[in-house]
Structure 1
Amino acid sequence: MNAGLFPACFDALPFEIALVDTAGTIVYANETWVEFGDVNGNTHDTCWVGENYLRVCRRAEDSTATLVADGIEALLAGTRTHFQLEYPCHSPDEYRWFHLEATPLTHDGERYALLAHVDITTRKQVELQRDTQIEQLKTIVTVLSHDIRNPLAVIQGYAAKLETAEADSDAVDAIQESADRIADMIESILEFARTQSLNDVSRVTVADVARESWAQTATVEASLTIDSSRPFLADESLLHQVFENLFRNAVEHGGRGVTIWVGTTDDGVYVEDDGPGIPASRREKLQANEAGVGTSIGGIGLAIVRAIVTAHDWSFSLEEGREGGTRVEITGIDFLEAT
């Protein structure tokens, strides 16, 4: 059999392969390994052939590299028969993930480790998208018990009034309107959960949505000021939930008499309060979704806001307000010309 056949076979494989000897030195690398190095700025003349792979991993001072070095050393020492690891290997331009398969082999009495790095980025992205959708669905389930509190509070208030006085048409109408809104909200949320997309995009204005959402929120002694307003396209039902959640968070964490400002920026909308605010470190965790849904400072509300904002292809950030409170900015909005 032709001696060059086996290297040619390894070169034809679409993933990076290297062979390291018992000392950890790379003695062979296939063409895909070389091409990967070239694309990613390799400056080593032989694409690391002749270099000690284990030493390179140890110098990286990275937990993943340390795991790789430990696993390969165990293979070469004969204390393991197989090693595998999924790991991130992001470049400045893209996110990437790889799967390492390492297997020991013996040739002419010498022990080696055969390493194969397989690009699993596509699979990983699908998994991450699935996980995100699962989390969003969990959030939606939470919404069904979270966002119905405001219209239910209205119903309960008027119901109490009906118990102590003769029923009037305005009170009955208010109860019916809130009950209908609950039904509409549930349908809208369930559709959003099913499709992860917008249901009915229409022209809205910041002022109208803010005032309508304010009327549906138990704001106690809080006050709302509209600094500015512009028209844009959005799913109005979902946008109401964004504003109601932000208003409720402001009232719950800013106090009964909190002042709330709503206005527009060059490419977005802000909701700001004069409450105690959120520490910078806490804001970063909430914005990065690291604090979880059930947190004490707006976790559920911000999870809902994040899902709806993302569905609109917008972004949001948490900032410090003009008087030290919390300012939520939603950006990426394409405003329409005023009519």
Structure 2
Amino acid sequence: MDNFPNGVLALFDANLYYRIVGPETLPFSGQKAADIAGKQIYDLFPEETAAKLEPKLEATIDGEPRSFDIEHEELTHHIETKSVSIGGEPYGVLVSQDVTDVRQNAERIEQQNERLDQFASMVSHDLRNPLSIAYGELELYRETMEEAHLDEVENALGRIENLIVDLTALAQNSTSDEYRPVSLTAVAEDAWELIDTRTASLETNENVIVGDQSQLQALFENLFRNAVGHGGESVTVRVTPLDNGFYVEDTGDGIPPEKRDQIFEHGFTTGYGGSGVGLTIVKRIASDHGLEVSVSESPEGGARFEFHAVQ
């Protein structure tokens, strides 16, 4: 027990009292093992934590080993249990180790792999389609000299340009160390100027948000492109602060309730020629900024995206 790395060992009885605990000083909290031995789990842990432990430790006493993670005091602990018999009485052995860094690293790698898969999908498929169209229409123009084919080439190149913007946003990453106060109105207006808004209108209310300006601009660009693409050239888009975030809503046709859980999935599209990655980028940027995004309906029946601070 004294040399157990980064962890705690404990022997517990059928009433879920810790009987033996080690090492002498626990690595997680600095508590003394002597202060823990002889106490029941509801005396040692908050009720929510103890309630999660209870069925797993009881199963162990019944002879069923358990392996699970549990959150306690802002750390992630991995726990392994196994039943033992001492003097004919059932006991359980518990091993707990701090795996916070391991789990966070695994989550980061998983997110990076997901982003890489999305990036590869766009390069191999979404970019190839308009590129093929451009080559085909250019060949037809050379054969017929009809300028209508050049219009199609221009449309295809515009599509490629939009995809490159999405690819750039998908590839970029920022950390909270780089975040600075940003004017919600300024970043929204900058994003509005960079897309083809036709005769659509933008309404904003001043507020300050802490984040990466270029990433937040990419978030707004994708939302605005989506609003104009679905709502048409006369749509109105509003950006308004909330107590713990902000919302972006439009006066368009809205998003059917049955599709709201799908729209953030990579490749999902409801038409107008979108890439199916724009709202995936929106959710990823929001998550990087500690914001949770939800979808509902604006007063006019259009789409409303709400961004709330998770912490």
- TM-score between the two structures when normalised by the length of structure 1: 0.57
Give the alignment partner of residue 123 of structure 1, picking from 102, 105, 109.
Answer: 102
User: Is the counterpart of residue 301 in structure 1 residue 278 in structure 2?
Assistant: yes
What is the aligned-residue identity percentage? Answer: 25
Give the alignment partner of residue 196 of structure 1, picking from 161, 170, 173.
Answer: 173
142-151 or 242-251, which deviates more: 142-151
Give the alignment partner of residue 20 of structure 2, picking from 23, 28, 46.
Answer: 28
The amino acid of 2:236's aligned partner reads I
CA displacement at 1:125 relative to structure 2: 0.9
**Structural mapping, 1:37-186, within 5 Å:** 47=36, 49=38, 51=40, 65-74=54-63, 83-91=65-73, 94=74, 96-107=75-86, 111-144=90-123, 148=127, 166-167=146-147, 174=154, 178=158, 181=161, 184-185=164-165
Q: Which residue of 2 aligns with 1:227?
A: 203
The amino acid of 1:129's aligned partner reads R
Distance verdict in 2 for CA 1:273–1:152, change over 3 Å: farther
C-alpha contact 1:314 1:330 (8 A) present in aligned 2: no
Could you list the per-position Cα deviations for residues 145-191 of structure 1 after superposition, in whole angstroms to 9, with x for gaps in the alignment? 786599779969x97996987539x95994696387368548736xx
Distance in 2, Cα, partners of 1:296 & 1:145: 18
C-alpha contact 2:131 2:157 (8 A) present in aligned 1: no
CA displacement at 1:211 relative to structure 2: 3.8
CA displacement at 1:273 relative to structure 2: 1.5
Distance verdict in 2 for CA 1:279–1:103, change over 3 Å: same
Matched pairs, number: 283
The amino acid of 2:103's aligned partner reads K
Distance in 1, Cα, partners of 2:250 & 2:120: 28
Could you list the per-position Cα deviations for residues 188-236 of structure 1 after superposition, in whole angstroms to 9, with x for gaps in the alignment? 36xx53x6359xxxxx864453243226xxxxxx851022599x97448
- TM-score between the two structures when normalised by the length of structure 2: 0.61
Could you list the per-position Cα deviations for residues 55-94 of structure 1 after superposition, in whole angstroms to 9, with x for gaps in the alignment? x9x998956642342133215xxxxxxx341222244xx3
Distance in 2, Cα, partners of 1:35 & 1:315: 30
What SS does the corresponding residue of 2:194 show, helix, strand or coil?
helix
> RMSD of aligned C-alpha atoms?
5.5
What SS does the corresponding residue of 2:38 show, helix, strand or coil?
coil
User: Is the counterpart of residue 261 in structure 1 residue 274 in structure 2?
Assistant: no
Distance in 2, Cα, partners of 1:139 & 1:213: 23
The amino acid of 2:58's aligned partner reads A
Distance in 2, Cα, partners of 1:181 & 1:228: 27
C-alpha contact 1:18 1:115 (8 A) present in aligned 2: yes
Report the structure number with the largest CA radius of gyration. 1
Distance in 2, Cα, partners of 1:251 & 1:172: 21
What runs of 5+ residues in structure 2 fail to find an aligned partner? Answer: 176-185
Distance in 2, Cα, partners of 1:147 & 1:258: 28
User: Is the counterpart of residue 326 in structure 1 residue 303 in structure 2?
Assistant: yes
CA displacement at 1:126 relative to structure 2: 0.8
Distance in 2, Cα, partners of 1:174 & 1:110: 80
C-alpha contact 2:10 2:18 (8 A) present in aligned 1: yes
Distance in 1, Cα, partners of 2:279 & 2:85: 56
Could you list the per-position Cα deviations for residues 236-261 of structure 1 after superposition, in whole angstroms to 9, with x for gaps in the alignment? 8x945x45532454366x55576131
Distance in 1, Cα, partners of 2:86 & 2:29: 27
What SS does the corresponding residue of 1:89 show, helix, strand or coil?
strand
C-alpha contact 1:274 1:325 (8 A) present in aligned 2: yes
19-28 or 263-272, which deviates more: 263-272
